[in-house]
Amino acid sequence: MRFVFHRIRELCVGRGVFWFALLYGALAGGATHPAGAAAAAGREAHIALLLPLNSPSFGRHADAVRQGFAAAARVAGKNAPPVRIYPVNEDSLNVLTVYEQALEAGARIVVGPLTRAGVGALAASSLVTVPTLALNALEPGSPQPARLYLFSLNVEQEARQIAQLALDEGRRKAFVVTDSTPLGHRMREAFTQEFARRGGIIAADHAFTDDQAELAKLRQAPELDSADMVFLALDAAAAVKTRPFLGNTPAIYGTSRVNGGNTAAARALNGVRFTDMPWLLQPDHAAVMVYPRSPFGDAVDFDRLYAFGIDAFRLGLELLSQSRDPVLDGVTGRIRKGADQQFLREAAFAQFSDGKCVLIGEPR
């Protein structure tokens, strides 16, 4: 085994997957077995949940996913196999080592890893011999084993859905405001590509700044006057700062990142359209009502990860049952399998109105 892992490490380092970690996007019949207990329990057919619970950077996020996964497993009860939790850290070699431990312990399916680096390292290895639901995206051009499936809270998918919504509502010329973060650039790239592909025109791309004097220049931007919509590739805090300078003429759109779960922010963003998961927008949704609410309250980022854990468990069961083209009415959206074994999530559309989120239509 030592030779195998030296070889895997050489292959993974050669592919450059060890040094990029980005998160962003347990339990069987309610029983939880951490990795140490799993080793003691011996070989047993089970679902393995592989999360960076030992990571200083991602540990809290991973635990929110774990709690959602556990809630879904408890609801499934005896209809689901046992689930064992396998904590990992941010070292990709550790991810590979623990993944193989899960296989040796009898895992029939693995859910995880959660970080992009971990998913990339696993994809570049030769270890994926059982169905594996990775909880993040692969870098473009990365290898993808036949049994590796992808599911993530992919903000690019949301940006593309917003482009479709805007075009369906008759918008044809977009003014884009983008912050300097990698996530902001990913949102902008996905939106502009989809909008242009479907016949829309990008009037301008304005860089967000905290400087009020610079933001005020938006009022005089001729491209804003000629646009019939604005896309905010921003989070909620930046969107609130930008909104007063956009006027009331163009329709304004954003992704779930503009929904920070804050009533004051929602009032400041009155009229802004966005996309988000049924878990947050539709408490009376049939799938949402089945599961206990998360303990995170207004901490919506962790609430989303909890919901993500619920749907990850449900998709894991679909893969375990060898369903060819599973379609899931999930708490994170309507989920279907697309190209490259990636599960696509169609979220719900909403609009801020008097400090509340009001649904404006059905997801595409």
pLDDT in tens, 348-357: 999 999 999 9
Q: What's the whole-number mean pLDDT along residues 341-347?
A: 94
pLDDT band at 278 (very low <50, low <70, confident <90, very high): very high
Q: What's the whole-number mean pLDDT along residues 132-140?
A: 94
The SS3 of residue 195 is helix
Say whether both 252 and 290 belong to one domain.
no
| Per-residue pLDDT reduced to its tens digit, 84-94 | 999 999 999 99
Say whether both 202 and 295 belong to one domain.
no
Say whether both 88 and 113 belong to one domain.
yes
Domain, as residue range, for 192: 156-277+347-361
Q: Name the domain count of the chain.
A: 2
Say whether both 51 and 195 belong to one domain.
no
Say whether both 1 and 84 belong to one domain.
yes
Instruction: Specify burial of residue 170 (Cβ count, 10 A radius: 0-12, 13-18, 19+).
Output: exposed
Say whether both 208 and 314 belong to one domain.
no
Residue by residue, DSSP assigns 313-342 as: HHHHHHHHTT-SS-EEE-SSSEEEE-GGGB
Say whether both 133 and 185 belong to one domain.
no
Say whether both 126 and 3 belong to one domain.
yes
Give dist(CA 229, CA 327) in Å, integer. Answer: 33
Say whether both 140 and 198 belong to one domain.
no
Say whether both 212 and 240 belong to one domain.
yes
If phi > 0 it is left, if psi is from -120 to 50 it is alpha, else beta; for residue 173 that is beta
Whether 37 shows a pLDDT value over 80: the answer reads no
Residue by residue, DSSP assigns 261-283 as: S-HHHHHHTTT-EEEE-HHHH-T
CATH of the domain at 194: 3.40.50.2300
Does the pTM surpass 0.75? The reply is yes
Say whether both 229 and 96 belong to one domain.
no
Say whether both 110 and 237 belong to one domain.
no
